[in-house]
Amino acid sequence: MSVVAPPDETINRLRAGLGQQADGSGDGTITSDPAVRAPLVIGKSAGSFHEVTETVCGWAESKPPLAWYPLFAIASTFAGIATLMIAYLIVTGVGVWGLNNPVDWGWAIVNFVWWVGIGHAGTLISAILCILKQNWRTSINRFAEAMTIFAVICAGTFPGIHVGRVWFAWFLFPIPNSNGIWQNFRSPLLWDVFAVGTYFTVSLLFWYMGMIPDFATLRDRAIARLERKEKFGFITVPVGKVAAFGYGILSLGWRMSFRGWWNYEKAYILLAGIATPLVLSVHSVVSFDFAVAILPGWHTTIFPPYFVAGAIFSGFAMVLTLLIPARSMYPGMKDFVTDRTLENMCKIITVTGTMVGFAYGMEFFIAWYSASYYEQQAFIIRATGSYWWAYFIMISCNVITPQVFWLKWARTTPWFIFIISIFVNIGMWFERFVIVSTLSADFMTSSHGYYSPTYVDVLTFCGSLGIFLTLFLLFCRFFPMQAISELKNVMPQASPHPHNDDHGGGH
């Protein structure tokens, strides 16, 4: 009970950036008193609405931070490698991957599930946390939604190319054809097409619609600086006009009118409502790809909730992996993405990581309780067989690592959170690998095999990370990284009851 100052005064102090912890660390948003609500916008940006606009638009309008250039060079190189590998695969056939007869699904499905799972955090943050009025989400939702879109793009690549003859990929969709055959609607692989397709469409609409007012702000600011020109070598580019034209198209004629905002708010909450069930349904359907098969180790009812928890777990880790460096790279981003925001995300990681750990335990329990010899054998082989190391990495990264966030220091130290988030990403990739490599040991010992990836597998996966990061860096460069109007909404200045704490929290 060290807080002596009354809440209002504390908030004012914190808003001015004065509320550091006793030892001088942190930005002052980590409060030990649960009665004190930490401000969501601090520092210089907390001064006025104009400062928020200046900070957010400044990122898109000025040159990117120095680290952006090498990162973009590396990322786009890997994206290029992925393109080459995919071209090689299409020209040659899926034999260039390490698939073999017991293990017919290799890294392609591992990567697919991993990427789709990562996308889930974006939808959870933008839809469920929006409906639950968790205002701390405002500073990360645009970021997380962008991550969702790019992750689903990476995810969708793998099922698209793994069919071998990609020119028949249209067979995935129910299109009347001269073969007189129709998709097998009892197959979860078909449900997957629709689940992921719906997910991508809704996420894209949600993300884009949210950005329209911010694009309009960027457009209006670009018009104010229309004559700006920049020299790239010999070419002089009228950047002012290009920006005004580009943002002008993207903002779809938004005029900041009252009627526009009214429709916007309605559409936003509707899309949040539509996206909410998707958080649970998409990865459930992805888990059916495995759970509906009658293979020991796959045929379990725990898969849907366990996959969803794992998806949110890995998605939050990926948001942190991107957010923490971006927060240090871009000036003023720490005003929105406070230590408190990171701490909240760490708590979600611990919760979902524990749920995933519980699921791992439950799988073993059910394998024993089912009295099914093959089920038991599958799990014993999973943990002690030829892939014991993958199982070990999965358990240590997914179950043990996130427990460090019980320590306050761990969940309030950004560089440490960053390292843990990487571990979680690795662990969740290995979770999918462990599930898929269960194929190597099915019913008959004589048909057991071993799977190892080829260089094409490895480079395609690294390349998908490159595609993801390339798209993400382009997003950071040209798009509004924070939802300007939403940030303004959660500032004390937006409160209709300033300086009055009796009306339920003020904001």
Partner 1 sequence: MAIFPKWTNSIPAFAFLSAAFGVVAVVSGFWVYATPKFWEAGYQPEQPISYSHQLHAQQLGIDCRYCHTNVEKSRIANVPSTNTCMNCHTIVDAQRGYLKKATAVEGESVHFKSAALQALRSYAASGDPAPWKRIHKLPDYVQFNHAAHLQAGVSCFSCHGRIDQMAIVYQQNPLSMKWCLDCHRSPAHNLIDKTQGRVTDLAWVQEQLNQDGYATSSGSLLAEKLSDSSRGAPPTHCSACHY
Task: Report whether 180 contacts 99 (CB < 8 A).
Answer: no
In angstroms, the CA 400 to CA 417 distance is: 14
Q: How far is the CB of 258 from partner 1 (least distance, A)?
A: 21
Task: Report whether 123 contacts 279 (CB < 8 A).
Answer: yes
Q: Computed from CA positions of residues 126, 132, 138, 140, in that sequence, does the dihedral angle turn out positive or negative?
A: negative
Residue in 2, 101, 178, 445 binding partner 1, rule: CB under 8 A: 178
* Choice between 184 and 445, CB closer to partner 1: 184
* Choice between 179 and 257, CB closer to partner 1: 179
Residues 118-177 that bind partner 1 (CB under 8 A): 177
Q: How far is the CB of 244 from partner 1 (least distance, A)?
A: 5
- Provide the greatest CA pair distance for the chain: 78
Q: How far is the CB of 245 from partner 1 (least distance, A)?
A: 6
Q: How far is the CB of 182 from partner 1 (least distance, A)?
A: 11
* Choice between 219 and 334, CB closer to partner 1: 219
* φ and ψ of 164, to 5 deg: 85, -65
* Choice between 180 and 496, CB closer to partner 1: 180
Quick check: 257 binds partner 1 (CB under 8 A)? no
* Choice between 170 and 415, CB closer to partner 1: 170
DSSP, res 335: G
The CB-based long-range contact list for 378-386 (8 Å cut-off, 24+ gap) reads 378/295, 378/296, 378/297, 378/438, 378/441, 378/442, 379/297, 381/438, 381/441, 382/297, 382/434, 382/438, 385/441, 386/440, 386/450
* Choice between 81 and 223, CB closer to partner 1: 223
184 sits in which H/E element = none
Residues 212-251 that bind partner 1 (CB under 8 A): 219, 223, 226, 244-245, 248
Q: How far is the CB of 50 from partner 1 (least distance, A)?
A: 22
* Choice between 187 and 370, CB closer to partner 1: 187
* φ and ψ of 235, to 5 deg: -95, 130
Strands 235-237 and 230-232: antiparallel
Q: How far is the CB of 171 from partner 1 (least distance, A)?
A: 12
Q: How far is the CB of 176 from partner 1 (least distance, A)?
A: 8
Q: How far is the CB of 249 from partner 1 (least distance, A)?
A: 8
* φ and ψ of 232, to 5 deg: -115, 95
Residue in 1, 22, 181, 294 binding partner 1, rule: CB under 8 A: 181
Q: How far is the CB of 179 from partner 1 (least distance, A)?
A: 4
Residue in 24, 34, 70, 180 binding partner 1, rule: CB under 8 A: 180
Q: Choose the binding region for partner 1 from 179-187, 379-387, 419-427, 475-483 (rule: CB under 8 A).
A: 179-187
Sequence-distant (6+) residues with CB within 8 A of 419 are none
Residue in 2, 179, 445, 446 binding partner 1, rule: CB under 8 A: 179
In angstroms and rounded to an integer, the radius of gyration of the C-alpha atoms of the chain is 24
* Choice between 25 and 177, CB closer to partner 1: 177
* Choice between 241 and 477, CB closer to partner 1: 241
* Choice between 218 and 424, CB closer to partner 1: 218
89 bridge partner residues: none
Q: How far is the CB of 250 from partner 1 (least distance, A)?
A: 12
**Continuous H helices in 437-483:** 455-478
In angstroms, the CA 112 to CA 102 distance is: 20
In angstroms, the CA 271 to CA 261 distance is: 15
Q: What angle do CA 289, 292, 297 make, to 5 degrees?
A: 90
Residues that bind partner 1 (CB under 8 A): 177-181, 219, 223, 226, 244-245, 248
